[in-house]
Amino acid sequence: MTQRIVIDPITRIEGHLRLEVELDEARTITKAYSSGTMVRGIEIILQGRDPREAWAFAQRACGVCTTVHAIASIRAVEDALGIRIPKAANIIRNMIIAQQYVHDHVMHFYHLHALDFVDVVSALAADPKKTSDIQQSLSSWPMSSPAYFADVRKKVQAIVDSGQLSLFSNAYWGHPAYKLPPEVNLLAVAHYLEALDWQSHVTKIHTIFGGKNPHPNFVVGGVPLPIDMNGDQSLNAAKLSVIADSIAKINQFVDQVYIPDLLAIAPYYLDYAALGEGLGNFLTWGEFPGEDIADLSKYVVPRVLILNRDLKNVVVPDPRDFERMKEFIAHSWYTYQKGDQAGLAPWEGETVFNFTGPKPPFQQLDVAGKYSWLKAPRWNETPVEVGPLARVLAMYAVGHKPTVGLVNVVLDKLKAPASALFSTLGRTAARGIETKVFSDLLTGFFDELMEEIKGGRTETFNGEKWDPSTWPRRAQGFGFMEAPRGALGHWVVIEGGKIKNYQMVVPTTWNASPRDHKDQPGAYEASLVGTHLAVPDQPLEILRTIHSFDPCMACAIHMIDAEGRSAGEVGTGFNVVCPD
């Protein structure tokens, strides 16, 4: 007899995700359904606005990856208007992007994902001396004494004794699927707490380059920060020194804490090297362009499509291909003029709400009909996975030496076959691998910037096409960023100096999509099939695989007033500078 269980909401993610799964008699998942339960409206808000200010609205799609939508937006407008940015500005953007990756991935590992594998309560039984020995065997991280770990254990004991687990609440402590010894649990809990403080150092890069964090400032045509060693408000020697110090702290934590922890925990969960694969199809838009963003050959992360795990025959997808890049709504609460079975390319995209779901409270969704606020993006009508695993596979496929070396080291360390990459554990390992690759890149980008400054090449803004009178009557552009969670695309149509249409296809829309017009599942739905649940009403195994994607429903869908009432108007400086 089959059984359906519902998890709503999934915790330790961004936004609101509901999962419904069907179990067979052996408590193994046979079908899964992913539902975004809040509605999106950013695209509608952007219609009719000045395209130069779109980034300021678009980046509010997410409060975690606060730069990704802004960068995709300014790149879309620059693509539409044929704007090329100065080399120094491109280097600064690459530094901002690299910092975002490292910050996001470390935070995800410790604060969103690790507790699926680390039992906090078990850490109370740890011997601090043994934990100290483990730490000192892993790296030269200075916080490694028995007294230090004894103090951490004391703090955790105080939290447990209070009966208010606070940041450690809403977990399945004591679940039989936890496997780490108490000493490794204590080690991970200590680093969970250290990572909270580490974040304050990481954000300095965004704060300096963008003026604030979260939501730094950006500008179409470059970056808003001039370079002037004699200026107080510019990028000067003092600020470069702070950035250098921040990069050093980033690299130290990645090298001495994050990567060693990942390799210390993974051997206890090798069964997840054969679970959670999903689709076997992967897509990247690429990242870290050279001076000419149109030259795809200079990207560090290549733009590729991988089908059926075939790393020897990757192809370059064209995001401007109307026939292949489409979003479908057969199971989504939207309507298209051409009907529910049609797919629309983003430049033709429509955002028209059509909620047909049950009125709360309800027990289950009608998954035969529409059941999610997410659309179903497809490449050539094929579902794909995006994210760290897609990027690492892409870099591995094209022979990126640092990535190939790290992948081989990890597989050798775990004594795992290459097929282990296509799994929950592979997805988690890929996030760590690219964190190491990108933190090293951050150092390289900083050195490049210093060379530009020494050479007097300090221009950071191209204002040749700032004036709307220089724009064509109609233009359309594609902007992208390989966001930490995966391939992010913004498509903009500009007409008469205003935004005519704007569509965002975000990483979680790819991964968390519902079934499409062919009844093909999305990446989340496919990844859970075959997973056995030890205790169905404590579905820890589901969390492990879903968290390995790092869902961001806040990006994929957005809330508006349920009654459609105006909540006020928002203006920016352009409303004053360039009135109608």
The mean per-residue pLDDT over the stretch 448-453 comes to 98
Whole-number pLDDT of residue 579: 32
Whole-number pLDDT of residue 575: 39
Q: Bridge-partner residues for 20, per DSSP? A: 6, 33
| pLDDT of 354 higher than 90 | yes
Cβ atoms within 10 Å of 270's Cβ, excluding its own = 14
Give tens-digit pLDDT for 87-130. Answer: 999 999 999 999 999 999 999 999 999 999 999 999 999 999 99
| pLDDT of 169 higher than 90 | no
Whole-number pLDDT of residue 12: 83
Calpha distance 61→480 (Å, rounded): 15
| pLDDT of 480 higher than 70 | yes
Of 508, 294, 283, 277, the closest CA to residue 394 belongs to: 283
Report percent pLDDT > 90 for the chain: 86
Whole-number pLDDT of residue 171: 80
Distance separating the N- and C-terminal Cα atoms of the chain: 65
Q: Bridge-partner residues for 327, per DSSP? A: 344, 377
The mean per-residue pLDDT over the stretch 19-24 comes to 97
Of 444, 51, 441, the closest CA to residue 218 belongs to: 51
The mean per-residue pLDDT over the stretch 70-83 comes to 98
Calpha distance 134→181 (Å, rounded): 11
Whole-number pLDDT of residue 164: 77
Q: Annotate 281-326 with three-state secondary structure.
A: CEECCCECCCCCCCCHHHCCECCCEECCCCCCCCECCCCCCCCCEE
The mean per-residue pLDDT over the stretch 73-96 comes to 98
The mean per-residue pLDDT over the stretch 283-308 comes to 97
pLDDT confidence of 569, banded at 50, 70, 90? very low
When the pLDDT of each residue in the chain is averaged and rounded to a whole number, the result is 93
| pLDDT of 289 higher than 70 | yes
Residue 500, C-beta contacts closer than 8 angstroms, at least 6 positions apart: 47, 474, 493, 494
The mean per-residue pLDDT over the stretch 154-181 comes to 86
Whole-number pLDDT of residue 555: 64
Whole-number pLDDT of residue 71: 97
Q: What is the DSSP string of 1-18?
A: --EEEEE-SPSSSBS-EE
Whole-number pLDDT of residue 570: 41
Cβ atoms of residues 151 and 94 within 8 Å: no
Whole-number pLDDT of residue 159: 86
| pLDDT of 553 higher than 90 | no
485, two tokens:
């969670």
Calpha distance 496→407 (Å, rounded): 49
Cβ atoms of residues 288 and 295 within 8 Å: no
Of 10, 16, 9, the closest CA to residue 559 belongs to: 16
DSSP 167: G
pLDDT confidence of 15, banded at 50, 70, 90? confident
CA-CA-CA-CA torsion sign (144, 148, 154, 158): negative
| pLDDT of 416 higher than 90 | yes
Whole-number pLDDT of residue 406: 98
Cβ atoms of residues 73 and 56 within 8 Å: no
Give tens-digit pLDDT for 192-249. Answer: 999 999 998 899 999 999 999 889 999 999 999 999 999 999 999 999 999 999 999 9
The mean per-residue pLDDT over the stretch 349-378 comes to 94
The mean per-residue pLDDT over the stretch 522-538 comes to 96
| pLDDT of 361 higher than 90 | no
HSE-up of residue 392 (Cα within 13 Å, Cβ side)? 28
| pLDDT of 541 higher than 50 | yes
Cis peptide before 182 (omega within 30 of 0): no
| pLDDT of 556 higher than 70 | no
Cβ atoms of residues 191 and 117 within 8 Å: no
